[in-house]
A and B are shown apart, each in its own frame.
Chain A
Amino acid sequence: MLTALILLPVAAAIVVALIPGRRREIHLSLGIALSVMPLALAGYLFWVFEPAAGFQYVVDVPWYEPWGIAWNLGVDGISLPMVVLTTLLVPIALAASTTITNRTKEFVMYTLLLEAGMIGAFLALDLFLFFVFFEAMLIPMYFIIGIWGTERRIYAAVKFFIYTAFGSALMLAAIIGLALTYASQEGSASFALSDLAGLDLSVGTERMFFAAFAIAFAIKVPLFPFHTWLPDAHVEAPTAGSVLLAAVLLKLGTYGLLRFNLSLFPDASVDAIPIMAILAVVGIIYGAVVAIVQPDLKKLVAYSSVSHLGFIVLGTFALTSGGLQGAVIQNVNHGLTTGALFLLVGMIYDRRHTKKIADFGGLQKSVPLLAGFFLFMTFASIGLPGLNGFVGEFLVLIGSYPALPSFTVIAAFGVVLAAIYLLWAYERVFTGVPDKEENSVLSDLSGREIALLVPIAVLIIVIGLYPKLLLDKITPSTEAVLDNIVEQTDYTMPEPGRIGDVLVAGGE
């Protein structure tokens, strides 16, 4: 089933490639129709997923036995939400791309291949396989930014590619090192996560490997100070590219930290808590402060990502139940809200052909629906209770406080800053008197655009009001990660480290 999930988008891309014809509508609508199939499958997977059973639907087929590489897939509570999110956002991103008029066929193909790469990376349980997906998806994204982006697209695309490739190069070296250590200790080759996690590494080696993985993922997240590629990539990318970049690609970084760093290098992870926490908090505050002063709406949302992802990293390295649950759920939330914000910015851009905040003003008179959705997403992003952002941020903060009290207090200011930059941006763009002629004649959201935003909005409310739906699936897996760390190291969880449980249990 998981194999099918990866191969479906690939097959869809091939089908699109085989359809000739110059009419772009065919390719685009075909792409959307085909990309609903993985969504359906992922939805079914979510439905039948057994929270307590660890990795499920495991596929383990040897790929090249002498090297110990395998087509090894599996899904657990940490990867499941990400897979569903990916499959949900691809059709939406495609459907939002009607403004792409040249080389539509290639665009649809690249998007579908990107989807396959992302799903594969989330499902891979073999480090070699993970690396393959992790790298392979760079190419479609590179093309999406480089061909369909705006003016400085090539610079942005190359920067994106080189940054990420550099990070993953070090990770490749570390993967080789890990596998060979395993081979020399056990006498057989393997790249399986479960095999490599049990290795005895010397303190120095483990820290080095941890650093190599952490740098690769920190660039992807991106964590301060590795974030400089992100604003460029986001601003230049087409709407679909931005949505997928923010909503899914960046999550590979946080997902990787959680899945690989924590379970492969428990000792080094515990030792690295202060460093990661500092970087996370600096990112939260720095991203927020920089976002406040951005004159460009898209760049503002991009920097808000830097800030929000800092929360996820903070939660991850708090190493408490609440922190980890919050991190996973915030992965989903950020994907939904920021994805939606990028969609909205794209819609505004389609109408006005500018992203400069100064060019707007009083838009809510002419486009009330768009303004309403924007405000809704803003609230979700800020963390208004009752919406999804609140659940995630609350869990992260409450989970981090026992472990890292001072960092948590500082990070909490990030929430306040988020309210400032987003609401201020809303005020400048949508409220007031429309003093510019162009702004008062814009057309409001079309039915198609509403159809794109409504599913996201519904999910935001559902997660906000009934987080148990997700948390039940997530919690056993995050607990397993924690148990593993507690077991393998002399880490003592701060009291009350398991408060996430208490909250969830109390809610029942």
Chain B
Amino acid sequence: MITPPEISWIAIAPDLALAIGAALVLLVDVQWKPAPRVLGWVVGAILAVAAGLTIVQWAQGADALAAGDTDSLVAFSGLITMDGFAIFSRVVLIAATGLGLAAGWRFVVSLGRRGAEAIALVLLATTGFSLMVAANNLVMLFLGLEVGSIALYVLAGLARERRESEEAAIKYFLLGSFASAVFIYGVALIYAGTGSFEILGIRQHLNDFVISNPAVIYIGIGLVVAGLGFKVSAAPFHTWAPDVYQGAPAGLVGYMAAVAKVAGFAAIARILLTAFSDLADTWLPVVAGISVLSMVLGSVLALVQGDVRRLLAYSGVAHAGFIMTGVVGGATDGVLFYLAIYAIQLVGAFAVVAVVSGPDGAGSSLDEYRGLGRRSPLLAGAFTILLLGMGGLPITSGFVAKFGVFTDAWAQGYQWLVIVAVIASVVAFAFYIRVIVVMYMDDAGEEQPLRVGPERWVLALAVGATILWGIFPSSLLDLAADALPI
């Protein structure tokens, strides 16, 4: 007799809202063929509901924690948690989805009747990643990962009239499925070594027993990290990123990159820092190695790019390295803060790209940005602040984020890593500055005015967040500090 697990609706409420919302968008579209504006309101409502439910989860979780009852945070026989870590990550995901859709709205509209598909795919991707960050079970995590990733593969190819978009989709799909396979193989090995899929179960097992033959577990961890490293485009698993960033529809790239990074890093942090915290001595050097490789390769290769999207892709590799230093530092709050900040800035930066190269345009040669400071001072100003924020200039949130993860890594005894990291940040400045030089100091090529649509709201929010949290980081830092995994 199998007893079905007890259903805790609140634990999956936001995910349900998103998934049902995705179906709803498709149905509404078929039935009424509404104007894009109506769909916009529908999506907004869905995201608001999801966010609201997440906050309800948070309130419940806070009550449970106050009562010292951590068990009630785990639902579905240990598949799903509603710990602070999951909730924080989910809020970031939902925020990135809202901003990302606004940034890509003109692309969605340009798809005509297929626009609803794009919206549904975005919502599904967010559903998957949202389940992934809340998963307490490696198989559950894999399910979330796949739901999210497959939706992203399709999104990359959505502008299928363009060959680059198709190429991006195929590349992303092939390499991505390979990475998923590597990940699930790692999960299998971990199961073989510990007899559990559950994050908490694995930790318990490692705590209770002396592992006689740890090689299986080590290889398992390695494969899991490699698979997730692909999703977050950490070197040496980053080779897909530039092509995909360049080929996928401009408006949505920011969203795609941001949610994949947030979910991927949340998973890495949860697996390594919670499940395998006892084996830290084993994986720390490996993660530190990936971190250094990502920072160095990403920064140096970004220097020589002539295309803004490829530049942002390589800078994303470098950022993966910086976030890895936070994982090395062993503190989830630094990682979460960095992810939140970076996701917003990334979506904002691609909103600029979407304006400059048109909603579905291919490539974004640096030449197109020549004289942007004159053509559209506000756009250029926003881009400048976002780039400086990504570079980590003080009084932007990027600096606080970098400072946090570097401090953690230093405290962990990885001083050399911090020194490499600060030098890599200077190199990173060099290429962000290059873009700024082109925008302000070169003379304008063409003087066509640019049309800025809903992107302006994305930019206003992203710039506001970059500066506000740069000067007053406490509000977000406090939240991140409370958002601990169980």
Residue of B nearest to A146 (CB): B441
Confirm or deny: B433 has a beta carbon within 8 angstroms of a beta carbon on chain A.
yes
Query: Is there contact, CB below 8 Å, between A176 and B440?
Result: no
Contact of B474 among A63, A143, A173 (CB under 8 A): A63
- Asked if A146 and B437 sit within 8 Å, CB to CB, the answer is yes
Contacting residues of chain B (411-461) with chain A, CB-CB under 8 angstroms: 411, 415, 418-419, 422-423, 425-426, 429-430, 433-434, 437, 440-441
**Which residue from chain A places its CB closest to the CB of B430 in the assembled complex?**
A162
Q: Is there contact, CB below 8 Å, between A67 and B407?
A: yes
Q: What residues of B have a CB within 8 angstroms of the CB of A165 in the complex?
A: 426, 429
List residues of A (59-97) whose CB comes within 8 Å of B's CBs.
63-67
Q: Judge if A132 is at the interface, Cβ distance under 8 Å.
A: yes
Q: Does A158 lie at the interface of the complex (its beta carbon under 8 Å from any beta carbon of B)?
A: yes
| A180 contacts partner chain B, Cβ-Cβ < 8 Å | yes
B393 to chain A, nearest CB (A): 6
Taken residue by residue from 163 to 187, chain B's Cβ proximity to chain A (1 for < 8 Å, 0 otherwise) reads as 0000000000000000000000000
Q: Shortest distance in angstroms between B5's beta carbon and chain A's nearest beta carbon?
A: 39
The reply to whether B419 and A170 form a contact with Cβ atoms under 8 Å apart is yes
Partner of B410, one of A67, A133, A157, A180: A180
Residues of A within 8 Å of B425, CB to CB, are 169
Residue from the list B407, B423, B481 in contact with A169, Cβ < 8 A: B423
CA distance A464 to B481 in the complex (A): 57
Q: Which of B433, B434, B440, B477 makes the CB contact (< 8 A) with A64? A: B477
CA distance A62 to B189 in the complex (A): 48
| B393 pairs with A139, CB closer than 8 A | yes
Q: Report Cα–Cα, A180/B399, bound state, in Å.
A: 18
User: Which of B393, B411, B419, B474 is close to A135, meaning CB atoms less than 8 Å apart?
Assistant: B393
Contact A136 B395 (CB under 8 A): yes
How many whole Å from A157's CB to the nearest CB in chain B? Answer: 8
Cα separation A146 to B388 with both chains bound (whole Å): 16
Would you give the 0/1 interface string for B363-406, flagging 1 where the beta carbon is closer than 8 Å to chain A? 00000000000000000000000001000011100010001101
Min CB distance B477 to A, Å, is: 6
Closest to B477 in A: A64
Contact residues in A for B410 (Cβ distance below 8 Å): 173, 176-177, 180
Q: Which of B407, B422, B481 contacts A180 (CB 8 A)?
A: B407
Task: List A residues 101-152 near B (Cβ within 8 Å).
Answer: 128, 131-136, 138-139, 142-143, 146-147
State whether the Cβ of A334 lies closer than 8 Å to any Cβ in chain B.
Answer: no
Tell whether, in the assembled complex, residue B473 and residue A132 are in contact, meaning their CB atoms are under 8 Å apart.
no
Task: Report yes or no: B395 in contact with A132, Cβ–Cβ below 8 A.
Answer: yes
> For the complex, what is the distance from the CA of A158 to the CA of B437, rounded to whole Å?
9
Q: Are B422 and A170 closer than 8 Å at their CB atoms?
A: yes
Residues of the B chain whose Cβ atoms lie less than 8 Å from the Cβ of A143: 440
- A147 proximity list for chain B (CB < 8 A): 440-441
The residue on B at minimum CB distance from A142 is B433
Q: Are B415 and A166 in contact (CB under 8 A)?
A: no
Shortest Cβ gap from A11 to chain B (Å) = 15
Q: Chain B interface residue count: which class?
A: 20 to 34
Chain B contact residues: over half helix, strand or loop, or mixed?
helix
The answer to the question of A100 belonging to the interface, with a C-beta cut-off of 8 Å to chain B, is: no
Which residues does chain B contribute within 8 Å of A142, judged by CB atoms? 433
Provide the A166-202 mask, 1 if CB < 8 A to any CB of B, else 0: 1001101100110110010000000000000000000
- With contacts A136-B394, A136-B395 taken as known, whether A64 is within 8 angstroms of B423 at the C-beta atoms is no
Say yes or no: is A298 at the interface (Cβ < 8 Å to chain B). Answer: no
A138 to B406, CA, bound (A): 22
Interface residues of B in 245-267 (CB under 8 A from A): none
- Could you say which residues of chain B place their CB within 8 Å of the CB of A133? 394
Residues of B within 8 A of A134 (CB): 394
| A154 at interface, CB cutoff 8 A | yes
Q: In the complex where A136-B394, A165-B426, A176-B406 touch, is A154 in contact with B474 (Cβ < 8 A)?
A: no
Question: Are A146 and B440 touching (Cβ within 8 A)?
Answer: yes
Q: What residues of chain A lie closer than 8 Å to B388, measured between beta carbons?
A: 139
B437 A154 Cβ-Cβ under 8 A = yes
Residues of A near B434 (CB, < 8 A) are 158
- In the complex, what distance in Å separates the CA atom of A169 from the CA atom of B402? 12
Q: Are B407 and A176 in contact (CB under 8 A)?
A: yes
Q: Do B419 and A173 touch across chains, with their CB atoms under 8 A apart?
A: yes
- In the assembly, what is the distance between CA of A66 and CA of B415, in Å? 21
> Which of chain B's residues have a CB closer than 8 A to the CB of A63?
474
Give every chain B residue within 8 A of A172 (Cβ-Cβ): 403, 406, 422
Q: Is A153 an interface residue (CB 8 A)?
A: yes
**Residue A349 lies at the interface, judged by CB distance under 8 Å to chain B:** no
A169 touches B422 (CB 8 A): yes
Contact with A along B45-81 (1 / 0, CB 8 A): 0000000000000000000000000000000000000
- Say yes or no for A161: interface residue by CB 8 A criterion: yes
Known: A66-B481, A139-B393. A153 touches B441 (CB 8 A): yes
Query: Are B474 and A64 neighbours in the complex by a CB distance under 8 Å?
Result: yes
Instruction: Give the CA-CA distance A258 to B410 in the complex, in Å.
Output: 27
Interface string of A353-388 (1 = CB under 8 A from B): 000000000000000000000000000000000000
* Contact present for A161 and B441 (CB under 8 Å): no
Among all A-B residue pairs, the 8 with the closest Cβ atoms: A132-B394, A169-B422, A135-B394, A64-B474, A165-B426, A169-B426, A146-B441, A166-B426
Chain B positions within 8 Å of A, measured between CB atoms, are: 388, 393-395, 399, 403-404, 406-407, 410-411, 415, 418-419, 422-423, 425-426, 429-430, 433-434, 437, 440-441, 473-474, 477, 481
Task: Show 18 A/B contacts (Cβ-Cβ < 8 Å), sorted by A.
Answer: A63-B474, A66-B481, A132-B394, A132-B395, A134-B394, A135-B393, A138-B393, A139-B393, A143-B440, A146-B437, A146-B440, A147-B441, A157-B441, A158-B430, A173-B406, A173-B410, A179-B407, A180-B410
Can you add 19 more A-B contacts, CB < 8 Å, to A162-B430, A169-B425? A64-B474, A128-B403, A131-B394, A133-B394, A138-B393, A139-B388, A139-B393, A154-B441, A158-B437, A161-B429, A162-B426, A162-B433, A165-B429, A172-B403, A173-B410, A173-B415, A176-B406, A176-B410, A179-B407
